[in-house]
A = this chain, B = another copy of it.
Amino acid sequence: MHEIQTVGVGMELERFFAAARLRASDYGEHYVALWDGLEQASTGGKRVRPALVLAAFTGLGGTDLALATPVAVSFELLHTAFVIHDDVIDQDLARRGVANIAGTFAERALAHGAGAQADAWAATAAILAGDLALSEAHRALAMLPVELKLRGRLLDLLDRAVFVSAAGELADVTNTASKHPLSVDLVVKTLEQKTAVYSFEAPLQAGAILAGASAESIGALGAFGRLIGVAFQLTDDILGVFGDPELTGKSVLTDLREGKQTALIAHAGTTGAWAGLAPFIGKADLTETEADAVRAGLRDCGALQAATALAADHADRAVAALDTPAIPVPLRDLLTTLAGTAVNRSR
């Protein structure tokens, strides 16, 4: 996605946060700090979703970036909102080693002599920040100067993104009740719901709809988005156990200690190796040595290979979905490159 410039999106976000901070200053230092934290949360990422909106838009003949930019901003802020609320649900105070909004406000409570309320400050700031980001995601689309029918289609996409992601997030949490590993199918379905729809399907389709693309183009991008989104997440889950923390910025113990329901675990659960692995999956104090043994077990039982093949298969099917005259060659080439980086990466 290197070819896609998201500079305009960054400028638009900067403008939005500058205005919000000015308004917030009427409501005291804590509220300004909350907006600072929200801006930080929205600028840490790779801007994948805005890039997808703009790629589909320009790749399908769209030219008016003044229209596409707010749509790209909308999906970036939707992502920010989900990440922040996901961290509340997981009770995380940091993301990639840096304090998140909740973490910042927990420290803030201490600094203001409210140490006993640190958890309350953390949860409050994060819940509100997510609400504010979610609100602006909606507002950016709602204010588009386009006719009702087009606005309705874009709002329907956003609505689906929110609806399906919520279903996936809930499934992710309720799945933990399962005593046994989930099926691979259920793991994949949950990844699709929780992430692929809002992060890949919806941004691509929004760009296409805004460009006035055909139903066939929109359908092909949707299929590509769901498949490549799953491929991305499957790869993330593999890197979460087998990756290099120096490159990923993520501990390779966390997922194992949490007993995260990944395709690796799902596959291992179908093999004779499971009985030996099970005691260590979800073991909160798993040691480095034990983790090494789990990794060896996941390799030996074929789980690593199966999960890698599953990710590659999804990436291949994603690319195949683009094989229609409804997707112009430059856009197809760009997305095919993206599909490659979804699975072949170390960070």
Contact = CB atoms under 8 A, between A and B. Distances in A.
Given A27-B193, A114-B174, A117-B173, A128 B166 contact: yes
A329 interface: no
Nearest to A31: B167
Contacts of A88: 123, 127
A116 B124 CA distance: 23
A179 B113 CA distance: 9
Given A142-B141, A162-B135, A171 B27 contact: yes
Nearest to A138: B138
Nearest to A82: B131
Contacts of A167: 24, 27-28, 31
Contact of A139 (B30, B123, B159, B174): B159
Contact of A113 (B114, B173, B177): B177
Interface in A210-264: none
A143 B155 contact: yes
A151 B144 CA distance: 10
Given A124-B170, A127-B88, A166-B131, A177 B109 contact: yes
A56 interface: no
A34 B124 contact: no
Given A89-B123, A174-B112, A135 B132 contact: no
A77 interface: no
Interface of A: 20, 23-24, 27-28, 30-31, 34, 81, 85, 88-89, 109, 112-114, 117, 120-121, 123-125, 127-128, 130-132, 134-135, 138-139, 141-143, 145, 148, 151-152, 155, 158-159, 162-164, 166-167, 169-171, 173-174, 176-177, 179, 193
14 contacts: A20-B163, A27-B170, A85-B127, A109-B177, A113-B179, A114-B174, A117-B173, A117-B176, A124-B173, A131-B134, A135-B159, A138-B142, A139-B158, A139-B159
